[in-house]
Amino acid sequence: MEYRILGNADLKLSAITYGAFAIGGNMWGGNERKDSIASVRASLDNGVTTLDTAPFYGFGLSEEMIGEAIKGYDRSNIQLLTKFGLVWDGSNSSKGEFFFDAEEAGKKIPVYKYAAKASVIKEVEDSLKRLQTDYIDLLQIHWPDSTTPVSETMEALELLQQQGKIRAAGVSNYSVELVEAARKNLQIASNQVGYSMLNRGIEKDLVPYALEHQLGIIVYSPMERGLLTGKYFKDGKLKEDDHRNGYFGQFDLAKVKTFLDTITPLAEAKNATLSQLVLRWTMLQPAITIVLAGARNAAQATANAQAADIDITPEEMQFIHSALSKI
């Protein structure tokens, strides 16, 4: 495993980081609790020291399972990354910016973007309880909230740092302009954004900015929610409540399949899976600090961790980029 410093923060994180969205259950068709916890522990046992979650993932369930899974491990060797700013119940639900209606047990649950100071502080207290810890290594705003001044949100993060409840502050899904605004108020370590072989928009502005300003980039959805594993083309049936039924429609699936067929021999030559090759490619892109990889069971988690060991030569990288240019 490789370990990398996150931006200008005093945090060394595993380049492959465990992404805990899917184990929360909502929007992913559910998962067995024992398998979820086993996947976290398998990650830790294979060199992954960094776990990324959020209150919204399973409406608290993901954080609760992370807290349960790390029992028995040395907390000082684990970096817990979580978020705030998506609220779905209580008095805050009528505040902020409406995001979308989530579903839980067949019931619609309105979700709002809300990052006012008092709400942020409350969310962190709730997260600390669910994670069963007294500090969070990196706290990130989940999505921008247009109803709250950036300065107010940053003021909350600064207070939490002073109190020792968070070690570093980050943002997520922020434009370069919003990152600039945040950094005028507080030292921001990172921006967590979507990035993959099929979604490379950040290369135009965020990547150059990050390289120039020592900003870490945390990547989510490097596998495009499983599409780049190739499994979808072998067994394309998803559960009815799986959000990917609609999500995959944005891609030219025929071209994606041709691309995956083209690079599959390269993965096989390295005794690697497509997923491992894709994860390693993502890790090697400029300015990318860590890559989130989700897992539903121990076997998937172990395979994700092993992706860090794959070697890709400059010639092989050019071969992949050439194949990508045809999508």
> Residue type at 307?
A
Which pTM value belongs to this model? 0.92
User: What pLDDT, on a 0 to 100 scale, did the predictor assign at position 109?
Assistant: 87
- Give the Cα-Cα-Cα angle 324, 325, 327 (nearest 5 degrees): 70
- Give the Cα-Cα-Cα angle 248, 254, 259 (nearest 5 degrees): 100
Contact assessment for residue 296 and residue 225, using Cβ atoms and an 8 Å cutoff: no
Other CB atoms within 10 A of residue 326 CB: 9
Token match 């919003």: residue? 178
Other CB atoms within 10 A of residue 170 CB: 26
> What tens-digit pLDDT sequence spans the chain (327 residues)?
999 999 999 999 999 999 998 886 654 445 578 888 999 999 999 999 999 999 999 899 999 999 999 999 999 999 999 999 999 875 455 689 999 888 777 788 899 999 999 999 999 999 999 999 999 999 999 999 999 999 999 999 999 999 999 999 999 999 999 999 999 999 999 999 999 999 999 999 999 999 999 999 999 999 998 889 888 777 766 666 666 767 877 888 889 899 999 999 999 999 999 999 999 999 999 999 999 999 989 999 999 999 999 999 999 999 999 999 998
Contact assessment for residue 286 and residue 211, using Cβ atoms and an 8 Å cutoff: yes
Q: Which of 18, 57, 114, 195 is catalytic?
A: 57
Is residue 57 part of the annotated active site? The answer reads yes
- Give the separation between CA 167 and CA 11, rounded to whole angstroms: 8
- Map residue 107 onto helix, strand or coil: strand
- Cβ contacts of 246-253, under 8 Å, gap ≥ 24: 251/198, 251/224, 251/227, 252/327
Closest CA to 277 of 306, 298, 245, 256: 306
> Residue type at 296?
R
Bridge partners of residue 87, in order along the sequence: 112
- Give the separation between CA 284 and CA 268, rounded to whole angstroms: 19
Closest CA to 171 of 227, 197, 210: 210
Contact assessment for residue 201 and residue 171, using Cβ atoms and an 8 Å cutoff: no
Other CB atoms within 10 A of residue 178 CB: 15
- Give the separation between CA 327 and CA 323, rounded to whole angstroms: 8
- Map residue 31 onto helix, strand or coil: coil
Give helix 314-324 / helix 253-269 axis angle, nearest 10°: 160
CATH class held by domain 3-324: alpha beta
User: What pLDDT, on a 0 to 100 scale, did the predictor assign at position 251?
Assistant: 84
> Residue type at 22?
A
Pairing of strands 16-19, 190-194: unpaired
User: What pLDDT, on a 0 to 100 scale, did the predictor assign at position 319?
Assistant: 97
User: What pLDDT, on a 0 to 100 scale, did the predictor assign at position 29?
Assistant: 47
